[in-house]
Amino acid sequence: MRVVKSPIWLRLLLPKLIWHYPRQGKHIYLTFDDGPIPDVTPHILNILKKYHIQATFFCVGENIVKHPEIFQQLKAAGHQIGNHTYNHLKGWKTSTNEYLKNVEKCQQYTQTNLFRPPYGQCTPKQFSQLRKKYRIIMWDVITYDFDQRLSAEACYKNAIDNVTNGSIVVFHDNIKATARLYDALPRAIEYWLQQGFTFKMITAS
């Protein structure tokens, strides 16, 4: 079952994580997970540049090492960088010690106090340790652009039907997402602009 909008009970269970921002203003926080990836990440950068939008990219350490020039493009364009572990680990299947070491390995490259767990998975102990150093950014809306069973239209609807003021929205700059991402992202941005939303970047403080 796809849970597009983070449920209230989960936000209440983990209130010290950041799920969304204040609901008073018509702001959206676009985020992208898993890059940097050739072709995909630069394509997103071009879309964001077209609409003059700054976003937050939660990067995987090994992808930074493989594609340092794309990572530099992200930074040069002024986007915010977040830590997404070095090897895209599942916290539930990884010991706390190994998980924290993997996060710190990624941190050598990202140099940020923003962290998002891959798959949204961390154990309570992992969360507790990570919160000592990082602001843990979850999400309000996940588009499921990575789900290859999903149509581009369904991905687009996931985005526009669930966003509210202050939403943190997740797309992915990975290969699996491209068929849906390339179609849904610019359409969603244009829809949100028509609805009077502005876009903000997640800050490190």
Element (H, E) at 28: strand 27-33
Binned at pLDDT 50, 70 and 90, residue 146 comes out as: very high
Split at pLDDT 50, 70, 90, the class of 49 is very high
Which helix (H) or strand (E) segment is 191 a member of?
A: helix 178-194
Q: Is residue 145 part of a domain?
A: yes
Task: Tell me the pLDDT tens digit for each residue of 164-181.
Answer: 999 999 999 999 999 999
In a domain, 51, yes or no: yes
In the chain, the amino acid numbered 171 is F
123 part of a folded domain = yes
Tens digits of residue pLDDT in 50-108: 999 999 999 999 999 999 999 999 999 999 999 999 999 999 999 999 999 999 999 99
Measured distance CA(196)–CA(100) in Å, rounded: 40
205 part of a folded domain: no
Judge whether 74 lies within some domain.
Answer: yes
What is the value of pTM for the model shown?
A: 0.96
Residue 22 lies in a domain: yes
Do the domain assignments include residue 170? yes
Q: Is 76 left (phi over 0), alpha (psi -120 to 50) or beta?
A: alpha
Residue 36 structural domain: 8-199
d(CA 103, CA 60): 9
Examine the pLDDT at 204 and tell me if it is beyond 90.
Answer: no
Give me the active site residues, please.
33, 172
As a whole number of angstroms, the distance between CA 60 and CA 42 comes to 16
SS (H, E, C) 53-121: CCCEEEECHHHHHHCHHHHHHHHHCCCEEEECCCCCCCHHHCCHHHHHHHHHHHHHHHCCCEECCHHHC
Output phi, psi for 69, to 5 deg. -70, -35
Q: Encoding tokens for residue 58?
A: 């939660």
Can you give the CATH number for the domain in which 184 is found?
Answer: 3.20.20.370
Q: How far is CA 63 from the centre of its chain?
A: 15
**Domain assignment present for 3:** no
Query: What's the pLDDT score for residue 1?
Result: 65
Tens-digit pLDDT profile for residues 109-125: 999 999 999 999 999 99
Is 183's pLDDT higher than 90? yes
Distance, in Å, from the CA atom of 30 to the CA atom of 199, rounded to the nearest integer, reads 7
Look at the chain and report how many structural domains it folds into: 1
